């Protein structure tokens, strides 16, 4: 032949086992991806609605203010834009976190600065919002 040994049965079996292991890992990755998507679809929505309401109130108030003082309203859209993109950005972040290949010069460990104050503020605001929305219905339902 061409000087190369034909692949042995052991090598073929090892390749099949490796392929099965890779497929198993990918199955776990896809499963985790869909679980993360479902969790974000619920939690992200619960955070997004209060954020949008707050952004709309803030935006409207600042439009009135900039109109009264004749200020430049261009910067008002930044907060509104962030609020509008928040929910959809969560899905993009999940996709990027699960399937993005890091740059060669980056480390394997991700360093995300967790600002507990920001998380607690959003959590408290979200809980107050949904309590204010749901409490009147609960009171109405059980006050009869």
Domain housing 56: 10-107
Closest to 33 measured CA to CA, from 92, 80, 121: 92
In-domain check, residue 2: no
12, 16, 17, 22: CA torsion to nearest 10? 140
Considering the domain boundaries, does residue 138 fall inside one?
no
Dig out the tokens for 93 from the structure.
Answer: 């972040």
pTM: 0.72
Residue 87 lies in a domain: yes
Q: Could you list the pLDDT tens digit for every one of the 144 residues in the chain?
A: 455 555 567 777 777 777 778 888 889 989 999 999 999 999 999 999 999 999 999 999 999 999 999 988 888 888 889 899 999 999 999 999 888 876 666 665 667 788 899 999 999 999 999 999 999 999 998 887
Q: What secondary structure letter does DSSP report for 106?
A: S
Cα–Cα distance between 114 and 57 in angstroms, integer? 27
**Is residue 81 included in any domain, yes or no?**
yes
Is the CB of residue 62 less than 8 Å from the CB of residue 76?
yes
Q: Is residue 126 part of a domain?
A: no
Number of folded domains that form the chain: 1
Domain membership flag for residue 82: yes
């Amino acid at each position: 032949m061409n000087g190369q040994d034909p692949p042995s049965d052991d090598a073929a079996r090892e390749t099949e086992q490796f392929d099965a292991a890779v497929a198993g890992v990918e199955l776990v990755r896809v499963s985790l991806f869909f679980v993360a998507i479902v969790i974000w679809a619920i939690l992200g929505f619960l955070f997004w609605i209060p954020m949008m309401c707050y952004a709309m109130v803030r935006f409207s108030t600042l439009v009135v203010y900039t109109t009264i003082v004749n200020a430049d309203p261009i910067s008002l859209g930044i907060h509104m834009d962030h609020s509008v993109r928040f929910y959809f950005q969560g899905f993009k972040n999940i996709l990027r976190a699960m399937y993005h290949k890091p740059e060669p010069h980056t480390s394997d460990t991700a360093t995300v600065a967790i600002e507990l104050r920001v998380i607690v503020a959003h959590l408290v605001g979200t809980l107050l919002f949904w309590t204010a929305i749901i409490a009147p219905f609960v009171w109405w339902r059980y006050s009869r």
